[in-house]
Structure 1
Amino acid sequence: MSLTEQFNAAAEKVKSLTKRPSDDEFLELYALFKQATVGDNETSKPGLLDLKAKAKWEAWGKQKGKSTDVAQKEYIAFAEGLVAKYA
């Protein structure tokens, strides 16, 4: 199975969690997913009052410079940990 196939499989597994991960875990998962699929965050910073969007933007920004392959590998490992913890 290729890295991309493993990444897609991990993304599908995360959708079937029976318990809700913490907000920090969601942010980490989101940031790794965005870095793996889009690359570096080049979007403008959200407004000061949009706290959810700002948290997501900042989490993604912390992944800057990480290659697609590295982000996919980290996402797979993190997702597997969440599945083991919350499935």
Structure 2
Amino acid sequence: MADLKARFDAAVAASKTLPEKPDNQTLLRIYALYKQATAGDVDGKRPGFSDMVGRAKWDAWNELKGTAGESAQQDYIELIESLK
């Protein structure tokens, strides 16, 4: 478990120094996996139609509802590694 957390933390740091900026869908996936890994299932209301960015983020995170934190951490690590 400590090893996974260390690898996750390293991937978070690496995400800030990727060679090129990922496309928007990939950025949403990175955001959603990070939030699921660190905060668990999304809560609160879905943002309104006028907040398109917030709504997209909420939707991406909501798609991961029920995913275990460890699983989200592993998926995040693998995604960041694939972008290096």
Shared topology, TM-score over 0.5? Answer: yes
Once the 2 structures are TM-superposed, how far is the Cα of residue 75 of structure 1 from its aligned partner?
Answer: 0.5
| Sequence identity (%) | 40
Q: Distance in 2 between matches of 1:77 and 1:31?
A: 14
2:70 matched residue in structure 1: 69
1:16 matched residue in structure 2: 17
Return 5+ residue gaps in structure 1 as ranges.
none
Q: Distance in 2 between matches of 1:81 and 1:58?
A: 23
Q: How many equivalent pairs are there?
A: 83
Return 5+ residue gaps in structure 2 as ranges.
none
Q: Distance in 1 between matches of 2:43 and 2:54?
A: 14
Once the 2 structures are TM-superposed, how far is the Cα of residue 64 of structure 1 from its aligned partner?
Answer: 0.4
Q: Which amino acid aligns with 2:58?
A: W
CA deviation profile, 1:16-52 (whole Å, cap 9, x unmatched): 1131100000000000000000000012111111100
1:60 matched residue in structure 2: 61
Q: CA RMSD in A?
A: 1.0
Q: Point out 4+ residue stretches in structure 1 off by more than 4 angstroms.
A: none
TM-score (norm: length of structure 1) = 0.91
